[in-house]
Amino acid sequence: KDLYIFSFISMNRCFHYEVFNMARETIVIATQGPGGLDDLVSPVFARASTFTIVEAINGEIKNVRVEQNPAVMAPSGAGIQVAQLVAGFGANVVIAGGVGPNAHQALASLGIRIISGISGVPVRKVLDDYFSGRLSSTMPGPTPPLPPTPKQPSAPYPPVSYPPIAPPLPPQVPTPYTFGFPSKEFELKMLESMKRFLEEQLKLINDRIKELKESSKKE
């Protein structure tokens, strides 16, 4: 059976909700205005005017809402702030024209898939391509190795003794992201969005429970 795990980040804690028998996704699309499915994908992510949040089950759209981007005019750090915001929306996938390196790394550390390079396309068309498997997500890969150093020709000099080479340093483990809210206003906006999202999730769960009970009675 399918297992969907919905997670969101709040105050540096991760909460998980498990809903069985539902292939559920929350897709957050950076958009240019409040048009929802009829809007266009924004060429930028962190400075997008709005985010169109699409909830789907088994590829069928169940709910669409539009949220303003509170970090659109942030003087700095917009990428990490918006990564926090979309995590609060419960995003599994983010779609935008361009995603900056800070936002890309923050989204990846939160386990959110990224689809970039799409802008000026209607949201409805992008979703159709996504559900049809014509779009693929990207995640940061390992740094490619440096090219080998060309071998230098042997010098016509007698061998010279050098001090022993020190052993290489152990590889450094990257420090995981730690997030903090830049202001009380931003935290309040994010928590209100989480509340609305969870209320909608609870309604869907209750509807599903009711549907299962009714089908059991008929059997």
Question: What pLDDT is recorded for position 21?
Answer: 40
216, with CB counted inside 10 A (0-12, 13-18, 19+), is exposed
Tell me how crowded residue 181 is: count the other CB atoms within 10 A of its CB.
17
pLDDT of the residue at 2: 39
Q: Which pLDDT belongs to residue 23?
A: 74
Domain ranges of the chain: 3-142+182-218
What pLDDT is stored for residue 165 in this prediction? 54
pLDDT of residue 45: 92
The answer to whether the CB of 96 falls within 8 A of the CB of 44 is: yes
Give me the CATH code for the 3-142+182-218 domain, please. Answer: 3.30.420.130
Overall residue count recorded for the chain in this entry:
219
Over its length of 219 residues, how does the chain's per-residue pLDDT go in tens digits? Answer: 334 333 444 434 343 343 434 578 999 999 999 999 999 999 999 999 999 999 998 888 999 999 998 888 877 888 888 998 999 999 999 999 989 888 999 998 889 999 998 889 999 999 999 998 888 765 543 334 445 556 655 555 555 554 555 556 555 544 444 445 456 676 677 677 777 777 877 888 888 888 888 888 776
- Which pLDDT score is estimated for 18? 39
What is the model's pLDDT at position 32? Answer: 92
Q: The pTM is what? A: 0.57
CA 93 to CA 76: how far, in whole Å? 24
Q: What is the pLDDT of residue 10?
A: 41
CA distance between the termini of the chain: 21
